[in-house]
């Protein structure tokens, strides 16, 4: 079945690893160009770190999926671990510093942009191991969400911060 056969997703993961690498590079440029400005706003370093985290998770998941001859079970565990790592990072970044000083809508918005990709990867990993529940389609959804979130955040860190 397509949802659980990583070999049938080879082209997707090949494209994803390249796109994730390019977006990661763009984000590093945005951060390095505007570092002084980013550091003036308490929520922006976390936004930058969280965006790097979800992009790296996408890169790592795609790399795992491209390993030849790897079984579904091993891949599922790797994707699950990647998802849990980035979900944990999202929670840590959001709540590490006195979030009580930030308006709740900002805290919730920050969390809602960073947490869903990690949860999508985690669910996809569990689904792949179980052989039921959608499999790699969860990874597809999480990856597309990573690209949307990281593009928006890169725009904020590169352009909007100058306004």
Question: What is the average per-residue pLDDT within 65-81?
Answer: 94
Q: Within 10 A of 114 (CB to CB), how many other CB atoms are there?
A: 26
Q: Which of 78, 148, 11 is nearest to 2 (CA)?
A: 11
| pLDDT level of residue 154 (50, 70, 90 thresholds) | confident
Mean pLDDT (the chain, rounded)? 89
| Ranges of each domain in the chain | 2-162
Q: Is 103 left (phi over 0), alpha (psi -120 to 50) or beta?
A: beta
pTM, full prediction: 0.90
What is the dihedral sign for C-alpha 58, 139, 79, 16? negative
| pLDDT level of residue 97 (50, 70, 90 thresholds) | low
Token pair, residue 105, equals 């809508």
pLDDT of residue 99: 52
């Amino acid at each position: 079945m397509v949802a659980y056969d990583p070999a049938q997703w080879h082209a997707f993961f090949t494209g994803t690893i390249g796109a994730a690498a390019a977006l990661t590079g763009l984000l590093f440029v945005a951060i390095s160009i505007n570092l002084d400005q980013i550091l003036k706003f308490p929520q922006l370093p976390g936004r930058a770190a969280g965006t790097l985290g979800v992009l790296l998770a996408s890169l790592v998941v795609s790399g795992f999926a491209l390993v030849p001859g790897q079984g579904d079970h091993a891949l599922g565990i790797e994707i699950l671990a990647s998802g849990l790592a980035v979900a944990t990072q999202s929670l840590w970044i959001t709540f590490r510093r006195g979030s009580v000083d930030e308006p709740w809508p900002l805290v919730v918005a920050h969390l809602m942009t960073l947490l869903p990709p990690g949860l999508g990867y985690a669910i996809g990993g569990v689904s792949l191991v179980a052989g039921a529940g959608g499999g790699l389609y969860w990874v597809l959804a999480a990856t597309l969400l990573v690209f949307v979130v990281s593009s928006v955040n890169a725009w904020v860190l590169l352009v909007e911060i100058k306004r």
